[in-house]
Structure 1
Amino acid sequence: MSARPGIGIIGVGMPAHLHLEAFGREIEDAFGHLPMLVGSSATGKQWRDVDVRLILPDDEFDHLFPDHDAPARMDGRWSLLCAAISELGRLRTGLPVDFQIQRMSNANAKYDGVRHALGLHAVRGGQ
């Protein structure tokens, strides 16, 4: 199966892919960084949920979540934001979105799988 350059093979299909792209643009508008589609839905058609990750530079992550000193520690602000944005993603896309915000150094050290940027491919009327 071949994919357009830059998009990659995404297992959610159409039109869900378009809805994920729009959701990605909303995240970028709010945080200034594009979220990534990761996990099994980024590589194939069999998945349980749709993993979307916002990977922030360490200093930005630490500014937003100063009490989130270890990934295993529960942080109220981080947990609420991730849960709320997951639910927004589900409502916007119709998909079971699992959204998490990650510190860049942690994400790069622990997760080496496929990452597809969401929000790069705008759909514009008349073009």
Structure 2
Amino acid sequence: MNAAGVGMPALLHLDAFAREVEQAFGHLPYLVGSAARGKVWRDVDVRLMLPDDEFDALFPQFKSPRPGRLDNRWALVCAAISELGRARTGLPIDFQIQRTSDANEHYGGGVRHALGLSLSWTA
């Protein structure tokens, strides 16, 4: 992964946080946005893309991926996980859960780095 935007050791903490998210939801989150592209960023955008059916089961009232039309449950879950991420990593995390089809339609051309991947080395 290109860790240029976040750097070390923050990336280690971010990956550990990502593994917590995976344990809870069964899917790894992604580093996206300005922190995925370089060293100048305001916050660290972390996105969890859930299959559409899983997203819809968690947030049945969610109608639009656009700001200004927020579902209260979705907003509270995202805010709570953002704060957990901030506490775990020391980084200004902006965590959002997205429906995979919406993420691909609206943000498919952006940079996405999978977080929480562990590599094991054997001698």
The SS at the match of 2:31 is strand
Number of equivalent positions: 119
The yes-or-no answer on 1:118 pairing with 2:115 is yes
Alignment deviations for residues 70-115 of structure 1 (CA, whole Å, 9 cap, x no partner)? 1232211100000000000000000000000000011001102110
CA distance in 2, matches of 1:45, 1:59: 35
Alignment of 1:35-74 (within 5 A): 35-72=29-66, 73-74=69-70
Structure 2: state its 5+ residue gaps: none
Pairwise CA RMSD = 1.7
Q: Select the residue among 24, 43, 46 that pairs with 1:30.
A: 24
Check whether the contact 1:22–1:122 (CA below 8 A) recurs between aligned residues. Answer: no
Alignment match, 1:3: none
The SS at the match of 1:46 is coil
TM-score (norm 2): 0.91
Alignment match, 1:16: 10
**Percentage identity across aligned positions?**
70
